[in-house]
Amino acid sequence: MAITLNAKGTSTSSFIVGKDGTTITQGGVISPPADTDLTIDLDAGKTLVVGPTNISGVITTSNNQDLHINPSTGGGQYLFLNENRWPDSDGTSNQVLKTNGSGVLSWTSTGSGSVTDVSVETANGFAGSVATSTSTPAITLSTTVTGVLKGNGTAISAAASGDITTALGYTPVDKAGDTMTGNLIISGDGQMLRPRAASTAGIPGLRIEDNTGTRTLEVLSLGSTASSAYGAAAGESIIVTGGAGALKLGTNSTTRVTIGSAGNVTIIDPSSGTALTVGDNSTTGKTALAAGGFTLGIGQQWESGAAEIWTSKNTRIGTTSANFLAIHTNGTERISFESSGNIAAGVDNSQTFGTSSRRWSVIYAGTGTINTSDENEKTEIEELSAAELAVAVRIKGLIKKFKFKDAVALKGTNGARIHVGVIAQEVELAFILEGLDANRYGLFCEDTWEEDGETITRLGVRYDELLAFVIAAL
């Protein structure tokens, strides 16, 4: 078939390229003059072929120009691509192309619609229902399968026990009473929680241990049989640690109570942080309470067979092996209450009953005091000298009556009673006048001490010796 390329129209700017039977060879360029059209005009029913038969041809533009394919103007002319007729207008914004099924494309606006009906098919183990299916459907899915579900990618069904074991890789424990054996690892660092073996002391419980098994915490519950291994009675519960570790109890991320491996119990005062320890004293091994560097102990401390309450300051009170109640200070017995009811000094003739600054007000007794006068207890036994007898004569004339100031302050002048005796300062002067030192004689006493930063001296006499001294001069 010959292809003729003719310039359309009668304008002088149009021209004809080729004649009937003319062929444009590959590589040829058709360049119409400026401001002219290039028209390819074929007979009705004929086709423009680009390239040889069965070989694709390409129509391209050069110099980055657009390629326009426009039907002739005047109306009723269309662009056909692959026998599909395209619209001859641009359409409006947001319109889309549609086909009539016979190769005719046209522009149309997108429409809107609504759900007309929704249903759920009952199949493959699923069922369901739909509410308001014709407007805003709410779909509820259900299944007729009971128990644990399994799926095969298409349908679901009830899982058997073997299916669960296969999926988990181990046999699960049923909460209804199945028995679990082995260890349950609950931490990536090797800590384990496991049931306590019933064969261990025959006590059921739980055991938490480290990866070496040397540090453990066990929670045990005794049945009808007591446990000698733990010193627990039947029906009691036990929390016990293994190894040398302590058991600590706390609140608010803070340790409050510590039970040491030796059995000591330490309680922390939350306000001061002071620790109170109950248990064996670290030095003596006796049961004690310790806090703030001070220890109060209960139990035998110094004397075998004794029941004592004692302190770290070497003081104690308790019964002795002779059934005495003894009080100790500085590690020494000071006073004891004998089983007969007598009160005795801790050490014979070594301590006073009261001091010069801490006197007893009155001593009530059925008889007078007994003073040691055994010759075997005395030395340098002599007769009184002339000077000493002269002092005795002077003292004889010094006996007066008086009232004590503290009694007057307490009872008033009329209430305070009158006493008879000597004035210690005058007794001292009597010795001085005879060339003697009163402090060398036991009948005269002078005591000095510090009180509130002040030095205090108080004089006194032993009337039993003073009267014997005066009698010698009669």
pLDDT digits (tens, 9 = 90+) for 387-438: 999 999 999 999 999 999 999 999 999 999 999 999 999 999 999 999 999 9
**Tokens coding 160:** 């058997």
**Domain assignment present for 397:** yes
Residue 247 — very low, low, confident or very high, per pLDDT cuts 50/70/90? confident
**Percent of the chain predicted with pLDDT > 70:** 56
**Domain assignment present for 146:** no
**Contact status, residue 314 vs residue 306, Cβ threshold 8 Å:** no
Residue 236 — very low, low, confident or very high, per pLDDT cuts 50/70/90? confident
**Domain assignment present for 441:** yes
- pLDDT, position 440: 96
Which helix H or strand E contains 362, and what residues bound it? none
**Domain assignment present for 379:** no
Q: Which of 366-370, 371-375, 450-454 has the lowest mean pLDDT?
A: 366-370
Q: Mark which of 245, 262, 294 sits at the end of a domain.
A: 245
**Contact status, residue 241 vs residue 214, Cβ threshold 8 Å:** no
**Tokens coding 241:** 């640690």
- pLDDT, position 77: 74
Residue 68 and residue 320: Cα distance in Å, rounded?
128
Q: Which of 33-42, 72-81, 331-340 has the lowest mean pLDDT?
A: 33-42
Question: How many domains are there within the chain?
Answer: 2
Q: Which residues contact 453 (CB under 8 A, 6 or more apart)?
A: none
Residue 396 and residue 474: Cα distance in Å, rounded?
9
- pLDDT, position 306: 58
Please list, residue by residue across 104-123, b when 16 or more beta carbons sit within 10 angstroms of its beta carbon and e when fewer do: ebeeeeeeeeeeeeeebeee
The CATH number assigned to the domain holding 446 equals 1.10.10.10
**Domain assignment present for 45:** no
**Domain assignment present for 451:** yes
State if pTM tops 0.85.
Answer: no
Please compute the mean of the pLDDT values over residues 330-346 and round it to a whole number.
78
**Contact status, residue 438 vs residue 428, Cβ threshold 8 Å:** yes
Residue 243 — very low, low, confident or very high, per pLDDT cuts 50/70/90? low
- pLDDT, position 279: 65
Please compute the mean of the pLDDT values over residues 126-143 and round it to a whole number.
74
Rounded mean pLDDT of the chain? Answer: 73
Task: Report which listed range, 5-9, 107-111, 219-223, 467-471, is most confident.
Answer: 467-471
* Tens of pLDDT, residues 19-49: 444 455 555 566 666 666 666 666 666 666 6
Domain that holds residue 196: 184-245
Residue 198 — very low, low, confident or very high, per pLDDT cuts 50/70/90? very low
**Percent of the chain predicted with pLDDT > 90:** 20
Angle among Cα 186, 187, 190 to the nearest 5 degrees reads 110
Whose CA is closest to 317, among 290, 347, 337, 294? Answer: 337
Identify the residue with better confidence: 125 or 391.
391
**Domain assignment present for 464:** yes
Identify the residue with better confidence: 259 or 75.
259
Task: Report which listed range, 99-108, 219-228, 311-320, 448-457, is most confident.
Answer: 448-457
**Domain assignment present for 107:** no
